[in-house]
Amino acid sequence: MATGALVLPADSAGAGAALHVTHWLPEGPPKAVVLLAHGYAEHAGRYAHVAKRLTDAGYAVYAVDHWGHGKSDGEGGFVPRFSAFLDGMRELLTLVEVNHPDTPRLLLGHSMGGLIATLFLVERQDAFVAAALSGPAILPAEPPSRFTVWISRFLSRFFPRLGVLSLDATGVSRDPAVVAAYQADPLVYGGKIGARLGKEFMDAMAVAQADAPKIALPILIQHGETDRLTAPAGSRYLFANVGSTDKRLEIYPGLFHEIYNEPERDAVLDDLIGWFDAHLAGGTAS
């Protein structure tokens, strides 16, 4: 594992912010590079075990702590615009293109990172051979009322940092050790989601829903059936609406939100690596 930093450009919503980058490399030359987008409130370091499985299979893994997350600059629970997260992925892609110019690329996103990855595919699917999403946040767990939408926009404008929603950490995994480690992790944000981020989140989900047909890349969508933090219905919606002809949906019975941190993680990661392996045969990133 190695770390570094990226700086968001002047035209970014997070202009000048330094974003923490982590990458893991296999023993020999990587057969492909996986760009990883982590979920809300967490950080790339929580994916060391996923990276280990991928590097053992011959992949390099690059991940950035999103703006306001982990070791990156920014404010927890707040974002000026959702595009700041996309800007981080753009800079990460540029870094990978420089470091591994002739190596195929794959995209992996979890939860909010799944939403970020979906939006990024609409913009830059030409850069990847295939993609995989884990518990993507495409539809809210409970559809907001008209009043909720209105008040969220009001608060976003006038009280953007006001905390409006807390996440239930017990919904992360059925493994008590995972939940305890999540709650004890100093780099995991434990405060409330601010009004601006909540509004930006809802707007980003609406864009992802509308633009899903533009995605034609081979895509694997994985979701825990009993996920309480992101709606499995969102994964079903995405699967039904993406333009991809090569697509696969896996809904895992009984699993919670972080399917790569559930007791059945090995089988779930087998599905992920099997998908990536299958799409590297003769595949190249443009």
Active site residue ranges: 111, 227, 257
Count of CA atoms in the C-beta half-sphere (13 A) of 191:
14
Q: Are strands 2-7 and 18-24 parallel, antiparallel or unpaired?
A: antiparallel
Q: Residue 133 in contact with residue 38, Cβ under 8 Å?
A: no
Q: Whole-angstrom Cα distance, residue 246 to residue 263?
A: 29
Q: Which residues of 233-266 are buried (b: 16+ CB within 10 A; e: fewer)?
A: ebbbbbbebbebeebebbbbeebbbbbbbbebbe
For residue 84, which of 68, 96, 61, 62 has the smallest C-alpha distance? 68
Residue with tokens 């409970």: 142
Query: Residue 96: helix, strand or coil by DSSP?
Result: helix
Residue with tokens 């995972």: 178
Q: Given its phi and psi angles, is residue 68 left (phi above 0), alpha (psi -120 to 50 degrees) or beta?
A: left
Q: Whole-angstrom Cα distance, residue 22 to residue 65?
A: 8
Q: Which residues pair with 22 in a beta bridge?
A: 3, 63
